[in-house]
Structure 1
Amino acid sequence: MTQPTPAPRQICPNCDGHASAAITLGGRNSAGHLRTITAHCPACHGTGTRPARTAPTEVHV
């Protein structure tokens, strides 16, 4: 019996799936490591995927 295949994940159009980036601040700390911060995509909040679409709800007046 065949297994159902899951739907492919939707890649975030703003970051193309590269949701987080390490950015160097310049210089090194006392241990010799680069000082970095992590920046996340504001659209997908660092997940790299777009939220699933929801069916529009009907409003009855």
Structure 2
Amino acid sequence: MPQHTRPRPICPNCDGFAAVAITTGQRTDDGQRQTLTATCRPCHGTGHRILAPAALARAGK
């Protein structure tokens, strides 16, 4: 029997794109672009809204 799970709400700060690569404009020694990875701080890089601890306590989890 299939399990029905509700989709987790998408983070409103990053719209689900939790990690992005940003080019620095420089190149590495082998010619590749040098990039930095930035993650969304409110969702901790998951792309989904994190439930508040109070909400978890009310839900009994």
Q: Give the TM bin, normalised by the shorter chain.
A: 0.7 to 0.9
Equivalenced residue count is 55
Name which of structure 1's ranges 12-21 and 46-55 shifts more when overlaid on structure 2. Answer: 46-55
Q: Structure 1: where are the runs of 5+ without partners?
A: 57-61
Q: In the aligned structure 1, how far is the partner of 2:4 from the partner of 2:11? A: 21
Identity across the alignment (%): 47
Helix, strand or coil: the match of 1:35? strand
Equivalent residue runs for 1:29-40 within 5 Å: 29-40=28-39
**Residue 8 of structure 1: aligned partner:** 7
Larger Rg: 1
Name which of structure 1's ranges 45-54 and 22-31 shifts more when overlaid on structure 2. Answer: 45-54
Runs of 4+ in 1 over 4 A off after TM superposition: none
**TM-score normalised per structure 2:** 0.77
**TM-score normalised per structure 1:** 0.77
The alignment's C-alpha RMSD in Å is 1.6
Q: Structure 2: where are the runs of 5+ without partners?
A: none
